[in-house]
Structure 1
Amino acid sequence: MLTRGMIHAVTALCTAFLLLASGTGCAAVAGQRPAPGSPGRDRLEQLLGAVRVVERRPHPGGYERGCGAGQGCVFGPAWSDDHDGPGGRDGCDTRNNVLARQLTGVGYRPGTHRCVVRSGTLADPYTGALIVFSRETARRIPIDHIYPLAAAWDFGASEWPIAQRIRFANDIDYNLQATDDAANTDKSDSTPADWLPPSRPGHCYYAGRYLTVALRYQLPVTAADHMALRRIAAACG
């Protein structure tokens, strides 16, 4: 079984688009074309012009993601299928819905009615790597909330009905991205002023997705976020 260190070592030696026989993919390199699905400069400028900008991130308190006894569970149980958004109440949890959409060559666990993903390959827009998903590596491919839950809470989701918060937390169309666990951990609940994908070819993709979510849910960005995203837009084709 490949360790994370082995994966990163191989990634550093690979050229773009080369898939090793071992199944470990190669990281994006400087000058590689933008991640698939990346918007161009004009589209990003439109989004930047439409999004609401605030001076700084407030901290109203009360955010508690956990759903254990006595915990707030403010966005509902993780990867709940019980919501009225895309993929909701289809018999598959949100994590498996995301994996089924974003991996290629998907294989399913027998007897789960094509629900539980057990194999595939992720072209990770955050790191530029091709990452093999298997039973052994499943824990190393988490699902990121592009617009973080904690940030959404701070910027207004604390006032939403619980059904809207659960829908937001499980929005497979706009706000969820499978990625490498190191990138996901490094990002945590940061917004674009404090974190960007480690792979530059993924910046335009991330900026477009972040702004789209903000507009869809009428969430703002800070002035610092707006500046960081504008710098990204200037470099997008």
Structure 2
Amino acid sequence: MKKNTLKAILFFLILSFLPLNAASIIKKSKSDICHAPDTEYYSRTKNFTLYDTLDQCLASGGRLPKGQSYTSQPKPKVASETSGKYSRDEFGRGWADEDGDCQNTRQEILISLSTAPVRFTNDRECRVTFGRWISMYSGEVIFDASKLDIDHIVPLKWAWDNGADKWSKEKRERFANDPANLVAVEASLNRQKGAKGPDEWLPPRNQTQYKARFERVWRTYR
């Protein structure tokens, strides 16, 4: 028995044991033509490579027979962990206090960035009131903590719109509280910046440093 005949017999035996929807299997001939089961030369094609779908056959370098056209089938959408709409809560409910010492991320950033000893509201040392901070955005020296915002250099919404919507909730919370992405600056400049990236907004001072920090965080989290 010739090899080609044997191959054809084996192929149709396999098809007979497959589910009905497997009959949509595609043959790619040696001349790289993709033949679907309902086409004229499907049964005549003896030397072939099998593909599950016509899309796969075409993607492998195959082509349609002359005179035939085909519209690629859309890929099914994968359900995401979130609704797709940005919400601050997707990055955790406010600042985290991971070590449980009553100083959340905001307070810890104020403490670490102050160039002088800080003062607190009470003996528990939970909330910073005064210190000495040099704003990276303006170069101004600020003493009153209430006049400072802790800004995300890569804004949360910007991150969400550029891929963070696909992250796990744990990764988003880690990102929102990462000191590498946080800086103490004037509330007015933080709100002026909003959710803009460096292509839309740059601080009045230290623009090169700002762009370098932005890129560093972006590269870390992709």
Q: TM class, shorter-chain normalised?
A: 0.5 to 0.7
The equivalent residue for 2:211 is 207
Once residues 107 and 181 of structure 2 are traced to their aligned partners in structure 1, the CA distance between those partners, rounded to angstroms, is 15
Q: CA deviation at 1:217?
A: 0.6
Q: Deviations over 1:111-156 (max 9, x none)?
A: 22x442121111001011111125xxx0x21111000000111111
2:157 corresponding residue in structure 1: 150
Q: Unaligned regions of 5+ residues in structure 1, if any?
A: 1-59, 66-72, 83-87, 219-237
Residue of structure 1 equivalent to 2:195: 189
* Aligned pair partner of 2:174 in 167, 174, 185: 167
1:110 matched to which residue of 2?
122
1:154-207 CA-partner distances (Å, limit 9, x unpaired): 1111111101101101112x10111011111110000001100012xx112211
Q: Give the residue type in structure 1 aligned to 2:90.
A: V
- d(CA) in 2 for partners of 1:80 and 1:98? 12
Q: Which runs of 5+ in 2 are unaligned?
A: 1-82
TM-score, normalization by structure 1 = 0.55
What CA distance in whole angstroms lies between the structure 2 residues aligned with 1:91 and 1:171?
18
Kindly indicate whether structure 1 or structure 2 has the higher relative contact order, using CA contacts under 8 Å at least 6 residues apart.
Answer: 1
Residue 21 of structure 1: aligned partner? none
1:78 maps to what in 2? 94
* Cα distance in 1, alignment partners of residues 127 and 219 from structure 2: 32
Counterpart amino acid of 1:159? K
CA distance in 2, matches of 1:217, 1:198: 26
Distance in 2 separating the partners of 1:98 and 1:119: 13
Q: Residue 111 of structure 1: SS of its match in structure 2?
A: coil
Tell me by how many angstroms 1:89 deviates: 4.4
Q: Structure 1 stretches (4+) deviating beyond 3 angstroms?
A: 88-91
TM-score by length of 2: 0.59
* Inter-partner Cα distance in structure 1 for 2:101 and 2:172: 19
The root-mean-square deviation of aligned C-alpha atoms, in Å, is 1.7
Residue 109 of structure 2, aligned match among 84, 88, 98: 98
User: Considering only CA atoms, is the larger Rg found in Structure 1 or Structure 2?
Assistant: 2
How many pairs does the alignment contain? 139
Percent sequence identity is 37
